[in-house]
Amino acid sequence: MGSYNVKQEVTDKYSLRGRVFHRLREDILSGKYEEHEELKEVAISEEMGVSRTPVREAFRQLELEGLIQIIPNKGAYVTGITEKDVKDIYIIRSLLEGLCARWATEHITPEQMEEMEENVYLAEFHASKGHLEQLAELDNRFHDILYEACDSKILEHQLKDFHQYVLRVRKKTLSNANRGPKSNAEHARIMEAIKNKDADLAESLAHQHMINAYDNMVKNGLHEAYEKEKKNNE
C-alpha cells in the first residue's frame, strides 16, 4: 500500500504509458503473470513495442496500486496477496459498503435507482438460467452503482479500489454456483431498503452482504488461492 487515499484515477488510456499501465494491470489481475514474478522493463517494452520510459512510469503507478513491488536497483515483482490480506479487505469493505449504502439511501438519483432495479431483475433471470458469467458481471455492476450513488468521490474510489483488488480471488468465489443467486437476493433486499429510505437497514444489509461473501469465500475459494500462494513460496 502506500498512498494517500484521495487518489486520482488513471484515466489516460491513450498515451503509451496509459496503455502500458492498463494492459499490465489487466495481465496481472487476470493471472497472466504469476505472483512474485519479476517484470523486466526491456521485456515489457519490447513486447508492447514501446521504449522503457512509459514502461517505467507505468511501473511506478502499478507500485502504488499495490500490484507490483519495486525494489530499488533490483526489479519489479508482482505482489502476492496473502490470505490475511484478503480477509482484512473484506472486513474493511464490510464497514465501508455499509456506509456506502447509507449514503446511497440519502443521495441516490432516480436514474441510478432505475438502473439498480434493472440490474437486480436481470440478475434474477440469469440466476435462474445458471448464467454464472453474466451474474458475476451484474454483481460487479450492482456494487458500482451503489458506489456512484453514495455521492462521495472519496468513498466511491476507495471501494472501487478494494473491489477491483480482490477480483483475482473473487472470480473463484463467485464461480461457486450457490453464491451467485444468494448474492443477488441480498442485493434485492438492499435495494428495497434504499428505496424505502431506510438508511439503517440498508447499511446493516450491505454490511452483512459483505460478511456473507467473506464467509462463502473462506469456505470455498480462499483455500485454493492460499495453497497456490504457499506453493509459490516454496
Q: Which residues bind its own copies (CB under 8 A)?
A: 1-10, 12, 14-15, 17-18, 53, 56-57, 60-61, 63-70, 72, 79, 81, 84-85, 88-89, 91-92, 95-96, 99, 152-158, 161-162, 164-165
Q: Which one-letter amino acid corresponds to residue 170?
A: R
The listed partner (its own copies, DNA, none) that binds 158, CB under 5 to 8 Å by sort, is its own copies
- H/E stretch holding 118: helix 110-129
CA 52 to chain centre: 29
Q: Does 40 bind DNA (CB under 7 A)?
A: yes
The reply on whether position 222 binds DNA by CB under 7 A is: no
**CB nearer to DNA: pick between 41 and 229:** 41
Which element (helix H / strand E) includes 156? helix 153-165
- Interactions with DNA, residue window 112-141 (CB under 7 A): none
Cβ distance 104 to 206 under 8 Å? no
State how far the alpha carbon of 95 is from the alpha carbons of 39, 70, 72, 129, 158, in Å: 35, 31, 36, 32, 12
Where b means 16+ CB within 10 Å and e means fewer, 104-142 reads bbeebeeebbebbeebbebbbebbeeeebebbbebbebb
Q: Is 67 in the site for DNA (CB under 7 A)?
A: no
Minimum distance from CB of 46 to DNA (Å)?
10
Measure the CA angle with vertex 85, ends 84 and 90; round to 5°: 95
Q: Which is nearer to its own copies, 157 or 195 (CB)?
A: 157
Of 56 and 189, nearer to DNA (C-beta) is 56
> Per CB under 7 A, which region of 34-42, 86-94, 120-128, 174-182 contacts DNA?
34-42
Residue 33: CB minimum distance to DNA, A:
13
Q: How far apart are CA 151 and CA 108, in angstroms?
A: 8
The answer to the question of residue 171 lying near DNA (CB under 7 A) is no
Select the residue interacting with DNA from 42, 95, 154, 177 (CB under 7 A).
42
One-letter identity of residue 186 = E
Residue 225 binding partner per list its own copies, DNA, none, with a CB distance cut-off of 5 to 8 Å that depends on partner kind: none
Interface residue list for DNA (CB under 7 A):
15-17, 38-42, 50-54, 56-57, 70, 72-76
